[in-house]
Amino acid sequence: MNKDIFKEVAKQFNTTPDEVKNEIQQAIDEAFNNPDPKIRRLWNNIPRKNNRPTAEEVIEYMSYEIMKRRNMS
């Protein structure tokens, strides 16, 4: 994954790339704890190295899904 995305967002919001990544990871961590079975199935679709996906893994997966859906239209 291209790490420049964190730099670009940081630049837009006058913060650091690490802060952007940390904020995204906090949102992922909070959402990952959702007990709803439908939501749990969605999380299970995201390829990851560990139990909880990283910001990079979620962004990469979502980017892939967006591209895939655009190509279906």
- pLDDT score of 72: 83
Phi, psi torsion values for 41, nearest 5 degrees: -65, -40
pTM of the model: 0.85
Indicate the pLDDT class of residue 1, thresholds 50, 70 and 90. Answer: low
Of 72 and 53, the one with more pLDDT: 53
Sign for the pseudo-dihedral over CA of 12, 18, 23, 24: positive
Q: What is the pLDDT of residues 10-63, one digit of tens each?
A: 999 999 999 999 999 999 999 999 999 999 999 999 999 999 999 999 999 999
